A = this chain, B = another copy of it.
Amino acid sequence: MERLDQQMRFVAEIGKLKSVLRQTMLAVPGRRENSAEHSWHLAMMAVVLAEHAPSGTDIGRVIAMVLVHDLVEIDAGDLFLYADDAQQARQEEAERAAADRIFALLPPDQAASLRALWDEFEERRTREARFARGLDRLQPMLANLEAGGGTWREHGITADLVLAKVRLIEEGSESLGRYARDLVAQAVRAGLLAPAAPDWAG
Q: Is the CB of A28 within 8 A of B16?
A: yes
Given A67-B40, A179-B4, answer yes or no on A33-B47 (Cβ-Cβ < 8 Å). Answer: no
Q: How distant is the Cα of A55 from the Cα of B8 in the complex, in angstroms?
A: 20
Q: Is the CB of A47 within 8 A of B29?
A: no
8 tightest A-B CB contacts, nearest first: A40-B40, A36-B37, A60-B60, A19-B29, A37-B37, A18-B37, A36-B40, A39-B40
Interface of chain A residues 108 through 129 with chain B (CB within 8 A): 110, 114
The residues of B that contact A34 with a CB separation of less than 8 Å are 37
A161 on the B face (CB < 8 A): no
A-B contact pairs, 10 of them (CB 8 A): A10-B48, A11-B48, A15-B143, A18-B29, A36-B36, A36-B40, A40-B40, A43-B43, A44-B68, A48-B114
Interface of chain A residues 13 through 29 with chain B (CB within 8 A): 14-19, 26, 28-29
A11 (CB) vs chain B CBs: closest residue: B45
The residues of B that contact A15 with a CB separation of less than 8 Å are 26, 28, 41, 143, 146
Q: How distant is the Cα of A146 from the Cα of B16 in the complex, in angstroms?
A: 12
A64 on the B face (CB < 8 A): yes
Q: How distant is the Cα of A19 from the Cα of B26 in the complex, in angstroms?
A: 10
A91 on the B face (CB < 8 A): no
Q: How distant is the Cα of A60 from the Cα of B179 in the complex, in angstroms?
A: 28
A64 (CB) vs chain B CBs: closest residue: B47
Q: Is the CB of A11 within 8 A of B142?
A: yes
A83 on the B face (CB < 8 A): no
Q: Is the CB of A41 within 8 A of B47?
A: no
Q: How far is the CB of A192 from chain B (nearest CB, A)?
A: 15
Q: How far is the CB of A100 from chain B (nearest CB, A)?
A: 18
A182 (CB) vs chain B CBs: closest residue: B1
Q: How distant is the Cα of A1 from the Cα of B178 in the complex, in angstroms?
A: 10
Q: How distant is the Cα of A1 from the Cα of B11 in the complex, in angstroms?
A: 40
Q: How far is the CB of A33 from chain B (nearest CB, A)?
A: 7
The residues of B that contact A43 with a CB separation of less than 8 Å are 40, 43, 63, 67
